[in-house]
């Protein structure tokens, strides 16, 4: 499986962002299950989900303090990379 994501360190907090489809971010049960499934890939880090709408505007789901931080960061400033998990 391949997915897009990023690991960010901000003020002593290290967290992961994973790119998903909008329908996952819009459904809290599905979003929480998705966070739980990605958590083992980023041990000890909170995981936040990100989806983009049709205009490219990001929407985040996860820990409130991290989401509040991310909404003020331009999406192109996030160090995205492709992850491969077997």
- Give 3-state DSSP helix, strand, coil % of the chain, rounded to 5: 35, 35, 35
Q: Could you count the other beta carbons within 10 Å of the beta carbon of residue 34? A: 19
- Per residue in 63-79, pLDDT tens? 999 999 999 999 999 99
Total count of domains within the chain: 1
Q: Is the dihedral of CA 24, 28, 30, 36 positive or negative?
A: positive
Q: Is the dihedral of CA 83, 15, 63, 36 positive or negative?
A: positive
The pLDDT assigned to 11 comes to 86
- Per residue in 6-24, pLDDT tens? 999 988 899 999 999 999 9
Domain that holds residue 16: 2-84
34: left (phi over 0), alpha (psi -120 to 50) or beta: alpha
Q: The domain that contains 44 carries what CATH number?
A: 3.40.1350
Q: What is the pTM of this model?
A: 0.94
């Amino acid at each position: 499986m391949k997915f897009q994501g990023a690991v960010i360190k901000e003020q002593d907090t290290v967290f992961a962002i994973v790119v998903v489809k909008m329908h996952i971010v819009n459904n809290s049960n599905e979003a929480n299950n998705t966070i739980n499934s990605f958590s083992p890939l980023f041990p000890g880090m909170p995981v936040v989900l990100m989806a983009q709408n049709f205009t490219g505007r990001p929407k985040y789901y996860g820990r409130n303090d991290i989401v509040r931080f991310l909404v003020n960061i331009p999406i192109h400033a996030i160090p995205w990379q492709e992850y491969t998990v077997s």
